A = this chain, B = another copy of it.
């Protein structure tokens, strides 16, 4: 399969699993499960599940089913978007071209749906890997660190704090990018690697890859916010400049930001070259991230 077909195949597998591994929309109380499904099934790139699935298949050997781990990653990502969109945070009415969860339902339901997706991620790792408690534990350790107050949530908090002052530093921006974005991308790769039974050096290489890919991803996000229109992005564009937010573009200019993104992409490709197995798909995915338009 060529790259687009394989990307499509991973995305489809992830979306089928999302549907299968969430409580049905009629499970009592129906409203919370409808809201969880509304946001989880809103589309998007499914980058984190795709990274987990592709990494799990790197060696071409049979591995433990990575789909529950992939779904757990998307549950965490989606909960963070639901809560970020709330009025007390970014106050966004649209996400991926559809009303955000609190607009489609209400604030209280969106709050609880976010809580429920966060909880469901850990529940999935516990229920779906019950036959292999050691793997279940390793996956839970990885995900709970990445999603914690020192990483994902810490990055979000620092982002809020940075918004309140105009003199955010490059150090602060790096903290935000590493934790708000790179941590979960790194966890996606490592959790895929854990399902494949990769050894410690390979897992360490995946961590380096995750960091570099995550930084690329976030710099491109900043560039797109500054240059693309809302229809292409599927979310409100130009928000950063409007909020006078410190971004990579504001600190380094568009050209500087593009140069940094290229450097991190090169570092990601160098890490990839050290991994076992067939890395062609991940290599193309990394290159695609650098030139993405949405």
> Which residues on A are within 8 Å of B, measured CB to CB?
23, 27-29, 31-33, 36, 79, 83, 86, 88-89, 106-109, 111-112, 114-116, 118-120, 122-123, 125-127, 129-130, 133-134, 136-138, 140-141, 144-145, 147-150, 153-154, 156-158, 160-161, 175
Residues of B within 8 A of A144 (CB): 119-120, 122-123, 126-127
| B158 pairs with A29, CB closer than 8 A | yes
| B137 pairs with A111, CB closer than 8 A | no
| B31 pairs with A157, CB closer than 8 A | yes
| A108 pairs with B33, CB closer than 8 A | no
So how many copies of this chain end up in the complex? Answer: 2
Q: How far is the CB of A14 from chain B (nearest CB, A)?
A: 20
Q: How far is the CB of A32 from chain B (nearest CB, A)?
A: 4
| B109 pairs with A157, CB closer than 8 A | yes
Identify the closest chain B residue to A153 (Cβ).
Answer: B116
| B83 pairs with A115, CB closer than 8 A | yes
Q: How far is the CB of A93 from chain B (nearest CB, A)?
A: 16
| A127 pairs with B141, CB closer than 8 A | yes
Known pairs A108-B89, A109-B157, A161-B29; A141 contacts B137 (CB<8 A)? no
Residues of B within 8 A of A114 (CB): 115
Q: How far is the CB of A208 from chain B (nearest CB, A)?
A: 22
Ranked 10 nearest A-B pairs via Cβ: A88-B107, A123-B144, A116-B149, A133-B137, A126-B141, A32-B157, A122-B122, A29-B157, A126-B140, A29-B158
| A89 pairs with B111, CB closer than 8 A | yes
Residues of B within 8 A of A86 (CB): 88, 111
| A111 pairs with B88, CB closer than 8 A | yes
Known pairs A127-B141, A149-B23; A28 contacts B158 (CB<8 A)? yes
Q: How far is the CB of A132 from chain B (nearest CB, A)?
A: 9
Residues of B within 8 A of A125 (CB): 140
Known pairs A156-B112, A157-B109, A158-B29; A119 contacts B118 (CB<8 A)? yes
Residues of B within 8 A of A156 (CB): 112
| B27 pairs with A150, CB closer than 8 A | yes
User: What is the CA–CA distance of A93 and B211 in the complex, to the nearest angstrom?
Assistant: 41
User: What is the CA–CA distance of A280 and B277 in the complex, to the nearest angstrom?
Assistant: 60
Q: How far is the CB of A164 from chain B (nearest CB, A)?
A: 10
User: What is the CA–CA distance of A18 and B109 in the complex, to the nearest angstrom?
Assistant: 30
